[in-house]
Amino acid sequence: MKKLVVLGILLIFTSLSLSAQGFYFDIGLGFGKGGTKIGSKDVVDDLKRLGASVDEIGVDLGFKAGYGPIGNMPIYLVGELGGVGHRIYDSFNYLQYNTYLFGPGIIIYPVSFLQLGSSIGYSWVSNQTDLPMVMDNSDGGFAWNISAAIDLGKRAHGFLIGIKYFTASNSLKTLKVDQQSSLFNVFFKYAFRRKV
């Protein structure tokens, strides 16, 4: 975990040192429909089969930093550190499946108001609950995402409203099975960038 934080800090400082006009940064939050499978079993479906009445919410939080546009092309190279949480809860207790992504990405503006993006990279999980049970974690895995957003802003500062799909696969330490996580969400982000 410490190595990932150091790599993230190095990425940000490297991006800052390139050129103030070429610096790209965004940060934001999204909400949507999450899904978690442990092995091949869907957690929510299993709880409902046992008679539990549960609600769920998915949250996406993250930031990207990088450089662009590249030459006269509306392409930005970025690094992303983000995470999604899939919370399953009732009136008394909760299960929280947290999945993180750290890796490179690309952002393209096919037209000046439309941003398309994708990232791919290293993933890990850190699950939580208030129940008297142990929630499993992982050593690492693989994750990717894809997004499309409307960019409301003409100068360096912008506001992004978009949709994003995230998916990850991680091998759990104790159970020795895979945790499959996904989230489809609507997000809102602040962006600092120079547009072509």
Q: In whole angstroms, how far apart are CA 93 and each of 31, 51, 157? A: 21, 15, 41
Beta bridge partners of 183: 34, 166
**Chain-wide mean pLDDT for the chain?**
89
Q: Domains of the chain: which residue ranges? A: 2-192
Q: Can you tell me the mean pLDDT for 38-55?
A: 91
In this model, does residue 18 exceed pLDDT 50? no
**Which CATH number is 2-192 given?**
2.40.160.20
Sign for the CA dihedral angle at 20, 24, 29, 35 comes to negative
- Within 10 angstroms of residue 131's Cβ, the number of other Cβ atoms is 11
What distance in Å separates the CA atoms of residue 84 and residue 15, rounded to the nearest whole number?
Answer: 25
Q: What is the pLDDT of residues 138-159, one digit of tens each?
A: 878 999 999 999 999 878 999 9
- Residue 139: the pLDDT is 79
